[in-house]
């Protein structure tokens, strides 16, 4: 899809849904409106983590990633709900459908945010009128609030959308950077994480303005090529296009989950590894993709996080193969300390249609014999919703359907499907 080539510069929106999970729950159940609501991965557990919360809860000090016990201490009347990811995916699909009615240049970047290039979109008036039209339409049809940043590029649009919430519309022009953007702490800049901000502070870069005016050589010495990139963005320079096809560019597919409580229980860890491998298997099938590397992520009780990976000899896609490599990595690198989070990711991913799968004399007969079985199972799973050959008891079913507290991006083309 060819990017618009305007004579007077681009007009880019960043759409950011406000308190998305909580807002979806409020739209679904009107009785929750105006109340302090939090979405948590394991609300029954004392060590559950806040995924997101309503503005009423935030006003009491409740924050994302805060332990549930601490949130309840700050806000005793807090209403806590488990995430309903299918409900959020459905809402996300409808949001992006509305955006795509205005322009084909829509780039989803997560379940609740995306970019639009509206340079040539004038059917709803000028860019500010179009933004109000979109905001009002999403509220009217879905009962969901959003903030919209309007700017000449993606970076500035992203920064603008954060400046007024909820239901904000903010224009950020390059000539306004010195008084709107530069006074902000450098840690509030998109693309600058906590560790990068700490490094920048060591060379007296405390605000975005400091970064914009810092010597580029010194920044590159500290941060490599990213130093120059961040300086350019601080000066309002960002030429990256709004790319609707970016959702199809994926190099890895993974799944992770925070445990209800820190654990060294090998049975509990094994069950979770099994669930994560199955989730990755399912996502690979959905994308008709395979991969050449497996990575595990282990986050310990003290938040120390390690990642370890292994490249395999052939492309893999099945749960059994993924789990075998993941378990091998886990046994080799786990130091027996209590674990807070586990993740499994298949990397070096490519679509099957891009790979010429060369079967040798020894694997051809084995693979061919399994193909009809896999096809039959997939067909029945499609019809009945899950593999009908797996025997479930109530406990297994409950464990299977426990929601994850993190989202992957391999569903972001849902809005394009009928």
Tens digit of each residue's pLDDT (9 = 90 or more) over 54-71: 999 999 999 988 888 999
Q: Inform me whether the pLDDT recorded for 187 exceeds 60.
A: yes
pLDDT at 87 over 60: yes
> Fold for domain 182-234?
DNA polymerase; domain 1 (1.10.150)
CATH class of 1-172: alpha beta
Among 155, 157, 138, 166, residue whose Cα is nearest residue 59: 166
pLDDT tier for residue 43 given thresholds of 50, 70 and 90: low
pLDDT beyond 70 at 392: no
The pLDDT of residue 247 is above 60:
yes
Domain ranges of the chain: 1-172, 182-234, 250-416
Indicate whether 184 pLDDT > 50: yes
- Mean pLDDT in residue range 399-404: 40
The C-alpha atoms of residue 78 and residue 56 are separated, in whole angstroms, by 9
Cβ neighbours, 10 Å, residue 250:
17
For the residues 126-143, what does the mean pLDDT come to?
Answer: 97
Return the pLDDT at 41.
74
112 is in an annotated binding site: yes
Task: Give residue 146's pLDDT band: very low, low, confident or very high (50, 70, 90).
Answer: very high
- Given a cut of 80, is residue 399 above it in pLDDT? no
The pLDDT assigned to 313 comes to 86
- pLDDT tens figures, 256-286: 988 888 999 999 999 999 999 999 999 888 8
Task: Read off the DSSP letter of residue 139.
Answer: H
| Statement: residue 357 has pLDDT above 80 | no
Kindly list the catalytic residues.
Answer: 113
Q: Are 130 and 121 in contact (CB under 8 A)?
A: yes
pLDDT confidence band for 350 (50 / 70 / 90): confident
Mean of the per-residue pLDDT values of the chain: 85
What confidence tier does 349 reach under pLDDT thresholds 50, 70, 90? confident
Q: What is the mean pLDDT of the segment spanning 214-237?
A: 96
Assess whether pLDDT exceeds 60 at residue 216: yes
Containing H/E element for 23?
helix 20-28
Question: Which of 155-164, 308-317, 351-360 shows the lowest per-residue confidence on average (mean pLDDT)?
Answer: 351-360
Higher pLDDT pick, 47 / 213: 213
Q: Which of 334, 13, 9 is nearest to 161 (CA)?
A: 13
- CATH architecture designation of domain 250-416: 2-Layer Sandwich (3.30)
Residue 345 near residue 254 (C-beta atoms within 8 A)? yes
Neighbour-count burial of 245, counting CB atoms closer than 10 A to its CB (0-12 exposed, 13-18 middle, 19+ buried): exposed
pLDDT at residue number 364:
43
pTM of the model: 0.71
* Residue 262 is assigned to a ligand binding site: no
**Residue 339: beta bridge partners?**
263, 300
Say whether pLDDT at 361 is over 60: no
Share above pLDDT 90 across residues of the chain, in percent, rounded to a whole number: 64
pLDDT given for residue 204 in this prediction: 96
């Amino acid at each position: 899809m060819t990017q618009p080539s305007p004579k007077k510069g681009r007009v880019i929106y960043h759409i950011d849904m406000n308190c998305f999970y909580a807002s979806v729950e409020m739209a679904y159940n009107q009785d929750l409106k105006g109340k302090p609501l939090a979405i948590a991965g394991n609300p029954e557990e004392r060590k559950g983590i806040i995924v997101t919360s309503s503005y009423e809860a935030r006003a009491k000090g409740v924050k994302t990633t805060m332990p549930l016990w601490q949130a309840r201490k700050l806000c005793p009347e807090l209403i806590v709900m488990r995430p309903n990811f299918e409900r959020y995916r459905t809402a996300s699909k409808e949001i992006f459908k509305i955006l795509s009615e205005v322009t084909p240049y829509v780039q989803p970047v997560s379940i609740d945010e995306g970019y639009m290039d509206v340079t040539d979109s004038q059917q709803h008036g000028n860019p500010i009128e179009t933004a109000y039209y979109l905001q009002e339409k999403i509220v009217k049809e879905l009962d969901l609030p959003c903030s919209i940043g309007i700017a000449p590029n993606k970076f500035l649009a992203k920064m603008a959308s954060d400046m007024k919430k909820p239901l904000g519309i903010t224009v950020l022009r390059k000539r306004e950077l010195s008084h709107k953007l530069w006074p902000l702490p450098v840690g509030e800049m998109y693309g600058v994480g906590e560790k990068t901000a700490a490094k920048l502070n060591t060379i007296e870069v405390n605000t975005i303005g400091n970064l914009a005016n810092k010597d580029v050589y010194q920044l590159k010495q500290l941060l490599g090529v990213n130093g120059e990139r961040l300086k350019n963005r601080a000066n309002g320079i960002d030429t990256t296009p709004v790319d609707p096809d970016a959702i199809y560019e994926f190099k890895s597919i993974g799944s992770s989950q925070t445990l209800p409580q820190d654990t060294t229980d090998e049975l509990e860890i094994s069950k979770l590894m099994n669930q994560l491998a199955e989730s990755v298997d399912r996502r690979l099938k959905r994308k008709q993709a395979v991969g050449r590397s497996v990575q595990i992520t282990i986050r310990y009780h003290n938040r120390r996080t390690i990642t370890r990976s292994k490249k395999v000899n052939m492309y893999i896609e099945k749960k059994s193969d993924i789990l075998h490599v993941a378990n091998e990595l886990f046994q080799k690198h786990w130091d027996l300390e209590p674990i807070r989070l586990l993740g499994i990711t298949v990397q070096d991913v490519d679509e099957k249609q891009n790979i010429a799968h060369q079967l040798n004399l020894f694997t051809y007969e084995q693979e061919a014999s399994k193909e009809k079985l896999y096809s039959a199972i997939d067909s029945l799973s499609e019809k009945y919703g899950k593999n009908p050959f797996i025997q479930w008891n109530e406990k297994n079913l409950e464990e299977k359907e426990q929601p994850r507290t993190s989202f992957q991006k391999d569903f972001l083309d849902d809005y394009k499907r009928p």
